[in-house]
Amino acid sequence: MSSNRSAPSPKVYGWCPGALRPMVSGDGLVVRIRAPLGRLSQAQATAIADLSRQYGNGLIDLSARANLQLRGVSPETHGSVIAGLQELGLLDQDVWRESRRNILLTPFWQEGDVSHRIARSLEGALLAAKDLLLPGKFGFVVDTGVKPLLPNCAADIRFERSGPDILLIADGTQVGCPVTVDTAEEAALDLARWFLEQGGAPKGRGRMQALTARRAPPPAHEVPRCTSAPQPGPGNTASGQLVALEFGQITAKAFASLAEIAPLRLTPWRMLLMEGARDLTTLPGVILDATDPRLQVRACTGAPGCLQALSDTRDLARDLAPHVPEGQILHVSGCAKGCAHPGPAPLTLTATSSDTFDLIHHGRASDQPVKETQSASALRAAPQILTKGR
Interface positions with ligand SF4 (CB under 6 A): 10, 300-302, 306, 308-309, 333-335, 337-339
Task: For residue 318, give the 3-state DSSP assignment.
Answer: helix
CB 357 within 8 A of CB 294: no
Q: How far is the CB of 211 from ligand SF4 (least distance, A)?
A: 25
CB 109 within 8 A of CB 116: yes
Please say which residue, 204 or 304, places its beta carbon nearer to ligand SF4. Answer: 304
CB 191 within 8 A of CB 173: no
Q: What does the alpha-carbon distance between residue 176 and residue 178 come to, in Å, rounded to a whole number?
A: 7
**Interior CA angle at 30 toward 62 and 210, to 5°?**
70
Q: How far is the CB of 379 from ligand SF4 (least distance, A)?
A: 18
Question: Which is it for the CA torsion 327, 328, 332, 335, positive or negative?
Answer: positive
Please say which residue, 268 or 302, places its beta carbon nearer to ligand SF4. Answer: 302
Please say which residue, 70 or 122, places its beta carbon nearer to ligand SF4. Answer: 70
Please say which residue, 157 or 340, places its beta carbon nearer to ligand SF4. Answer: 340
Please say which residue, 84 or 302, places its beta carbon nearer to ligand SF4. Answer: 302
Please say which residue, 35 or 335, places its beta carbon nearer to ligand SF4. Answer: 335
Which residue's C-beta sits nearest to ligand SF4?
334
Cα radius of gyration rounded to whole Å, the chain? 21
Q: Backbone phi, then psi, for 3, in 5-degree steps?
A: -80, 155
Burial class (CB in 10 A: 0-12, 13-18, 19+), 240: buried
Q: How far is the CB of 372 from ligand SF4 (least distance, A)?
A: 21
CB 163 within 8 A of CB 146: no
Please say which residue, 10 or 56, places its beta carbon nearer to ligand SF4. Answer: 10
Max Cα–Cα distance, the chain, nearest Å: 59
Please say which residue, 258 or 349, places its beta carbon nearer to ligand SF4. Answer: 349
Q: Helix 75-87 vs helix 42-55: angle between axes, to the nearest 10 degrees? A: 170
Q: Backbone phi, then psi, for 25, in 5-degree steps?
A: -130, 180
Q: How far is the CB of 46 from ligand SF4 (least distance, A)?
A: 28
Q: Helix 114-128 vs helix 184-197: angle between axes, to the nearest 10 degrees? A: 50
Please say which residue, 15 or 96, places its beta carbon nearer to ligand SF4. Answer: 15
CB 247 within 8 A of CB 69: no
Q: How far is the CB of 337 from ligand SF4 (least distance, A)?
A: 4
Q: How far is the CB of 301 from ligand SF4 (least distance, A)?
A: 4
Q: How far is the CB of 10 from ligand SF4 (least distance, A)?
A: 5
Q: How far is the CB of 334 from ligand SF4 (least distance, A)?
A: 3
Short-list 217, 221, 179, 186, CA closest to 200: 217
Q: How far is the CB of 77 from ligand SF4 (least distance, A)?
A: 22
